[in-house]
Amino acid sequence: MFILMGESEKALPLQHGQFDCPTCAVKQAYSLHECAMYFTIFGLSVARLNTVSHYLSCDLCGSCFSPEILKQPQQHLQAIDLQVLFRILCYLLCGYGDTVQSRQRVLNSYNSMAVKDYCMKDIDNELTIINAGSSPTLPYLQQNTHLLSPIKKQQLVMAAYNFANESCMMEHRDRVRINTIGSSMGLSLPEIEYLIVNNQ
């Protein structure tokens, strides 16, 4: 008999309240989530393994923050999903060529999802970090994936796909880049394929 076993990640809401959302720039309702790993048999969760992390999301815009924003708002103003988005776009910029037009696409993609505008100097700083190798992008995504909601992960993959699609004629290696980015955030290849096919 064939038995399919594995692990899956689930985010469950723990509490609700209100906070000053930096993305919305007004007081909004939030949900505090606990992210935990579960042992699965045939895709069904049968046992909880361990708690991976906690993240807080704005109920209106969906931006994800460290729960520490409730205790130390001034130190946690930037949404984690926006930090990850900027890293992904700059990572792709390195791969597709650092030109004035591609930098403008980075800024347009980022600023369409954020209140705080980034500028060319911010791109320079991010490229310096990436090229120095002190903070490799794929491990960076894996490190932060547990602080992102499933919806935000999907939005980040689509932002990466749209940037790549605007940068070149999509070929196999371009899809591999997108798949690698999505996989680093814990998305399965069928899920990434579904997102791309249904958002074209």
Residues 72 and 46 sit within 8 Å (Cβ to Cβ): no
Tokens encoding 190: 């069928």
Looking at residue 160, its pLDDT comes to 93
| Same domain, residue pair 139 and 58 | no
Tell whether 100 and 71 lie within a shared domain.
no
27, 56, 75 - which closes a domain: 75
Co-location of 71 and 84 in the same domain: no
Share of the chain above pLDDT 70, in %: 97
**Residues 62, 123 within the same domain:** no
Domain ends where: 18, 50, 75?
Answer: 75
Residue with the larger pLDDT of the pair 116 and 86: 86
CA atoms within 13 A on the CB side of 89: 30
68 and 87 inside one domain? no
Helix or strand or coil: residue 98? coil
Question: End of a domain among 54, 75, 96?
Answer: 75
Residues 69-96: what's their mean pLDDT? 86
Instruction: Select the more confidently predicted residue: 24 or 17.
Output: 17
Distances (CA, A) of 50 to 14, 58, 142, 161: 15, 25, 17, 32
The structure tokens listed for 138 are 């794929």
13 and 89 both lie in a single domain: no
Q: Are residues 165 and 144 in the same domain?
A: yes
Please state the rounded mean pLDDT for residues 51-72: 85
Q: Cα angle vertex 127, ends 99, 168, to 5°?
A: 40
Judge if 174 and 114 occupy the same domain. yes
Confidence of residue 42 (pLDDT cuts 50, 70, 90): confident
Tell me which residue range forms the domain holding 116.
80-198
Q: Is 115 found in the same domain as 31?
A: no
Q: How many domains does the chain have?
A: 2
Both 107 and 138 in one domain: the answer is: yes
Average pLDDT, the chain: 85
> Within this chain, do residues 46 and 104 fall inside the same structural domain, yes or no?
no
- Find where tokens 């909601």 sit: 149
Question: Do 112 and 19 fall into the same domain?
Answer: no
DSSP state of 5: E
pLDDT at 168 over 70: yes
DSSP state of 145: G
**Higher per-residue pLDDT: 29 or 45:** 29
What local confidence, expressed as pLDDT, does residue 161 receive?
93
With bands split at pLDDT 50, 70 and 90, how would you rate the model's confidence at 76? confident
